[in-house]
Amino acid sequence: MKIALLTLLLPIYLYCNYQYSLEDFNTTSPSYGGNVWEPEYLDYITMHYFGTQNWGGWTATFGQLSNFQEELRNNDGYENIVIIGIGQTVMSAANNSFCANSDLPLVMDLSPNLPIREQFSPYYDSHALVILDYGGNYIGHIDVTSLGDTQKNYIRSILEEHYVQSIIGDVNGDLAINVQDIVLIVNIVMLGEYSEAADLNFDGITNVLDIVQIVNIILG
């Protein structure tokens, strides 16, 4: 029965309201060279900053957001959150200067169609920070032309309402362990990636053993 269940689940992919998986171009980012936000930050609340790399104001804000992320993680205890910069390929020559004071991931929206911005419409705008929950669902957005107390307090209020400590096996962060989590773990294994929430046997690897274990949990 378990083998049959796994066979049925292998080709299934779980889709959310918003979704992308693009290379991180910031050389100082921990996820540099990998794909974000999926699969690197599947079990995170994600914040998506729509900036333009060749404007000084956007560059300054990107650095401020990097510092604010560290503040949220180290001082507020929001470990599973990430802010991702979304630039434009037409401005990619300015990537290094844009990231000079930031350790945040930076992905490229493909010019001229800009499909990520199209996907995030109507919430995206220049200087917009769009906030998504663990399942990729919209939970808020704010203009961060400047990052002052008003903006920080708004972001904190969203996190206070939606942030939960991770449960081992609850990969999508919905506070339940179910078939959706199996699908996500299967995807992680197929991509050769690692997720702490999906590492049910705590061996530092996400593999078929974790899939079997979560199936055992669900089947009782």
Range of the domain at 102: 21-162
* Percentage of the residues of the chain whose pLDDT score is greater than 70: 90
Q: What percent of the chain has pLDDT over 90?
A: 64
Same domain membership, residue 65 and residue 50: yes
Quick: pLDDT tens for 85-102. 999 999 999 999 999 999
Q: Is the pLDDT of residue 7 over 90?
A: no
Identity of residue 147 = L
Instruction: Collect all residues with Cβ–Cβ distance below 8 Å to 50 and sequence separation of at least 6.
Output: 86, 117, 120, 124, 125, 126, 127, 128, 129, 130
Same-domain check for residues 74 and 174: no
3 in any annotated domain:
no
- Digit-coded pLDDT (tens) for 105-159: 999 999 999 999 999 998 888 889 999 998 889 999 999 998 999 999 999 999 9
Pairing outcome for strands 138-143 and 128-132: antiparallel
Number of domains the chain contains: 2
On whether both 198 and 111 belong to a single domain, the answer is no
pTM listed for this prediction: 0.72
